[in-house]
A and B are shown apart, each in its own frame.
Chain A
Amino acid sequence: MSATGSAASTAVATRVAGLRLRVEQASYAYEATDRSAPKFTLGPVSFEAQQHELVAILGPNASGKSTLLTLLAGLTKPFSGRIEVDGTEVSQLDLRLRAQRIALVQQESELLFPLRVWEYVLQGRYPYGRRLRFESEEDCLLAGNALAQVGADSLRDRWMDQLSGGEKQRVILARALAQQPSLLLLDEPTQHLDIGGKVELLRRLRRLADNNRYTVLVVTHELNLAAEFSDRIVLLHKGRCLRVGTPAEVYDRELLEEVFEAPIEVEMRPSGRPRVVLRGSR
């Protein structure tokens, strides 16, 4: 990439072009000291993501997916390289500004005190306004919108601890959407769901990306879901970024067998998306 002019014009350029996320040679190392070798290194990783895109960060366990996610969320600064959202380096962003751009959807944690669904979703508006803030009408509208986007409108007045697993996940997603982020990050969101739940979630994410201009990044190890729903795949293995591209480009049998250490077959379906099956003993 050639550096064309000042950072400002670059920022304008990327926004116009719809480029949401740019990761350039980002790397990280855990516990790197002068004396000992670091326990784990990630990178360098490079890829880009546009609006309306759903990107899957794919890899087996301990491949560095969560580390990459942490870097993308701006929670830690990469050792080298840059990560930019809407043209701005994420780790430089002020906490609240970052929360306005990036929403990270985690697995649920336990609530200490009872809370209603709308209260929970309304908390997503925190990054806007002062620290001690009282929600405005606009906030309520946006929170309502977010609930509608995940199809959880009817859950509005329910208590959080009375929701089912799937319902809770939708509400958590709604809170993230209430942040009005450019970038939506999800860390293994399908872990505790059954196959129906998994599909429903990915379909919803797909719709959100298509209709609402979010850029969605999903960290996962589910090969077929990633293939079916994502526009782009970043394949990680033991901290190295092996390949970036469309599912068809990335799903190479030998490559996947090496990465996932399992006997598999890759079938190409008429839709142009690959499918992975286990090569059983014949």
Chain B
Amino acid sequence: MRPMTPRRVAWICAALGALLFVVVVISLRMGAYPISVAQIVMTLVNRFIGRSNEIPPDFWNVVYEIRLPRIALGILVGASLSTAGAGFQALLRNPLADPYVLGVSSGAALGAIISLAVAPQTPGTIQLAAFVGAAATIAAVYFLGRRGGQIDSATLLLAGIVAVSFLSAVIMFLMTMLPGRDLRGMAFWLMGDLATRPAISSQWLYLLLIIGAGSIYTTSSDLNLILTGEQEARHLGVNVNRVKLVVYVAASLLTGLAVSVSGAIGYVGLLVPHLMRMFFGSDYRVLIPASALGGAILIVLADMLARTVVAPTELPVGAMTALVGAPVFIYLMRRRVR
């Protein structure tokens, strides 16, 4: 009998964190602009010791304006989507749940396309509009997904499916009405894109990530119990309704956040929790932080590949995660069946 201890959680997080660090370092090194590790280190060090003026402008640009922000955004998006995915899988009691199944990304896409139609050339509005769309969908699906005043997993899933199909229809209609030029931005948004800097500073986004993931983490003991049965969990003293609400809101907001700043990157929210379960088990006390770190690692890797395999052409990150994700998922499925 080896129960989960805080120490074990910490060790796993440390290991994943170290892996993330390595991946970040490799990703910093790769890119179209030729810059060596030594030069990168010099650039980083000079800034920290206050000698920014000695950094050649090109190096500054490449490291601080292009690569690091992209990596930082990748970590944010990967962690958000994976944590949300793990949360939704518990909330909906469905291992196939991904963060988009409840319509958050569809709502964000609708917001994005409306903003493209209305103000195509103003930067940042697309992200804001996407978030508003996501938030509106979260609220609508919540109200639709209730039964007797409380969240019911089956009803919620159904409400989400309805939302997705309805919103998709509206989006398709709008797409036929919009001139082609404006649609171009939409195609990128739909495929997932880490090149665009977020409209609000990363620090705020990271704060939201920590709040959101933290909220879900506080319910991880509860989720472990809920996964053996909702009624059983109630009898053990879990406030099931409250837990479901917290997880729904936190996971949806994390998804909305990620999708607003980077479009709908697929497979991460679905795959990473399953992968982490394979390695570390289904205990949510370790699964939540492991998924967050695992998602960050996956996205940083995928993005690195996306921008280097056929340089200077950049593949969309979403394409990369799908190319890697689909075979891995098929493998996982076959393993379960066996």
Contact = CB atoms under 8 A, between A and B. Distances in A.
B5 A131 contact: no
Interface stretch (B102-110, B116-124, B213-221): B213-221
Interface range on chain A (Cβ under 8 Å from partner): 35 or more
A99 B236 contact: yes
Interface residues of B, number: 31
B282 to A, nearest CB: 4
B235 interface: yes
Contact of A124 (B217, B218, B229, B236): B236
Interface string A249-269: 000000000000000000000
Contacts of B95: 112-113
B49 interface: no
Given A109-B228, A115-B228, A122-B3, A127 B236 contact: yes
B285 A134 contact: yes
A158 interface: no
Nearest to B231: A106
Contacts of B227: 111-113
Interface stretch (A43-51, A139-147, A193-201, A212-220): A139-147
Interface string B33-53: 000000000000000000000
Interface in A81-129: 95-100, 102-104, 106, 109, 111-115, 118-120, 122-124, 126-127
Contact of B218 (A75, A95, A126, A132): A132
B175 to A, nearest CB: 38
Contacts, number: 80
A246 B225 CA distance: 38
A106 to B, nearest CB: 6
Given A96-B237, A99-B235, A124-B236, A109 B229 contact: yes
Contact of B236 (A115, A119, A123): A123
Which of B6, B220, B221, B228 has the most A CB atoms < 10 Å from its CB? Answer: B228
Contacts of B239: 95
A140 B47 CA distance: 51
Contacts of A179: 236
A139 B217 contact: no
B290 to A, nearest CB: 14
B232 A109 contact: yes
B98 interface: no
A112 B93 CA distance: 7
B197 interface: no
A126 B1 contact: no
A118 B94 CA distance: 24
A106 B235 contact: yes
A35 interface: no
Interface string B222-258: 1011011101101111110000000000000000000
Contacts of B221: 126, 131-133
Given A98-B237, A114-B282, A156 B1 contact: yes
B218 A131 contact: yes
A135 B3 contact: yes
A131 B1 contact: no
Interface of A: 73, 75, 95-100, 102-104, 106, 109, 111-115, 118-120, 122-124, 126-127, 131-135, 139-140, 143-144, 156, 179
17 contacts: A73-B235, A75-B234, A95-B234, A98-B237, A99-B236, A106-B232, A109-B229, A109-B232, A111-B227, A111-B228, A123-B224, A123-B225, A124-B236, A132-B219, A134-B3, A134-B5, A135-B4
Interface of B: 1, 3-6, 93-95, 217-222, 224-225, 227-229, 231-232, 234-239, 277, 282-283, 285
Given A122-B1, A131-B221, A139-B3, 6 more contacts: A103-B235, A124-B236, A126-B221, A126-B225, A126-B237, A179-B236
